[in-house]
Amino acid sequence: MIAGCKTPPATSSRSRTCSPCSSRLARWLPSRIGRTRNLGNAAPTGVNERYGDSTITHGWYDSEPRFSFDCMAYYKDLTRYEYSNDPFKRAGELYNVGWLERCASYPKGAIDPDMTAKLLALCKFPVNRYMGWHGCHFCSECPLRITDSEGEFCLGDGEIRVPAKDERVTYVAPNLIYHYVVTHEYLPPDVFLDSLRALSVPNPAVVWILEWIEGFQNQPPILSHLLDWIVRRDKPSLPAELRGSVLEAANELKVAVGSDAQEQAENIVNRLKSLLTKR
C-alpha cells in the first residue's frame, strides 16, 4: 500500500486501482503520453493485430506505431482467469498468478535461480500480446526494460502460460511477473512454482505460430504474412529444421485461391500444426 492510500484491496478476484492511486497515476501519465513504442519483437504490421482485447492496424513495418499505457488489472492469485474476452484465450481451466496491485499485499520470498531463468525465458516472448504496455504499480518506468545476453526486452505487453504437471489446469501471469519476482520479491504460489519447475520451456517462435494459427486460420493472407515474418526473425528464432516447412506453408497460403481456397488453407494449417505439436 502506498503512502496516503487508505483503500483496502477488493475482496473479489478483480479490483480496479483505488482512487488515491488512480489520481497519482493521472498526474504521472501526461509525461509519458506521446512516447512511441519500439515494436522490435512484435508481430509484423500491415494487418489487424490482436493485442489482448485490442486491435491495432498500421502500415507494414511501421516505425511509429500507436502507443498506449494502462494500469495492470488486479486479480487475486489462483482465481479464475478473466482478463481476455477472446474465447480462445479463455478456453480451459485457467487461473491467475502474479496480477499485482500496490494497494493489495502479496507474499514475499526468494525462488531458485533456475526458476528465475525459466521465468525470464517465458517473459521475453509472451503470448496474448497487448496493444501497448502495462506499467509496474511499484515503479515509475514504463515500459519496463530488461537486458540479457540476447539484448533488450520490454515487459508489460503480454502474458505467460504455465500448464500444471498433469496439464489439467494452466496458470496465466502477466510477463511483468519476472520483474515482480526479481525486483519486488513476489513469491508465486507453490502450485505455480511446481508447474514451472517441471516445465520444459518451449521454443517461443513455435508458440507464437500456434497462437496465430488459432487466431488467423480463417484469414490465410494474414497468417501467411505472419509465418513469413517469423521465418526471418532472429529473436525469437525458429529451429533450423522447421524454417523450410514454415516458409513452405507461408508460400502455399499466399496462393490458396479459388472456390476451394478455404479447404486448401485448412489442409496447409493442419499439416503445419501437426508438425509443430509433435515435437
Tens digits of per-residue pLDDT, 103-148? 889 999 999 999 999 999 999 999 998 777 788 888 877 788 888 8
Residue 19 banded pLDDT, cuts 50, 70, 90: very low
Res 189 pLDDT > 70: yes
Closest of 120, 112, 192, 172 to residue 149, by C-alpha: 120
Cα separation of 107 and 98, whole Å? 10
How buried is residue 149: exposed, middle or buried, by Cβ count under 10 Å (0-12/13-18/19+)? exposed
Residue 254 banded pLDDT, cuts 50, 70, 90: very high
Cα separation of 54 and 50, whole Å? 6
Strands (E), the chain: 14-15, 49-51, 54-56, 69-71, 74-75, 94-96, 133-135, 144-148, 151-155, 159-163, 170-174
> Which residue type is seen at 48?
N
What confidence score (pLDDT) does residue 47 get?
Answer: 42
Residue 270 banded pLDDT, cuts 50, 70, 90: very high
Res 238 pLDDT > 70: yes
What confidence score (pLDDT) does residue 13 get?
Answer: 52
Which of 5-14, 69-78, 102-111, 140-149 comes out lowest in average pLDDT?
5-14
Q: Which cell is 195 given?
A: 508447474
Which of 32-41, 52-61, 202-211 comes out lowest in average pLDDT?
52-61
Residue 246: CB atoms within 10 A of its CB come to: 21
Query: Which position has the grid cell 501497448?
Result: 132
Query: Which position has the grid cell 529451429?
Result: 239
Res 18 pLDDT > 60: no
Query: Which position has the grid cell 496516503?
Result: 4
**pLDDT (mean) for 86-113:** 91
Query: Which position has the grid cell 488486479?
Result: 74
Residue 48: CB atoms within 10 A of its CB come to: 12
This prediction has a pTM of 0.75
Distances (CA, A) of 65 to 32, 43, 129, 144, 188: 15, 12, 15, 18, 34
CB 262 within 8 A of CB 243: no
Measured on CA atoms in the order 207, 208, 214, 219, is the torsion positive or negative?
negative
- Between 135 and 49, the higher pLDDT residue: 135
Res 273 pLDDT > 70: yes
Element (H, E) at 22: helix 19-28
Which of 9-13, 182-186, 218-222 comes out lowest in average pLDDT?
9-13
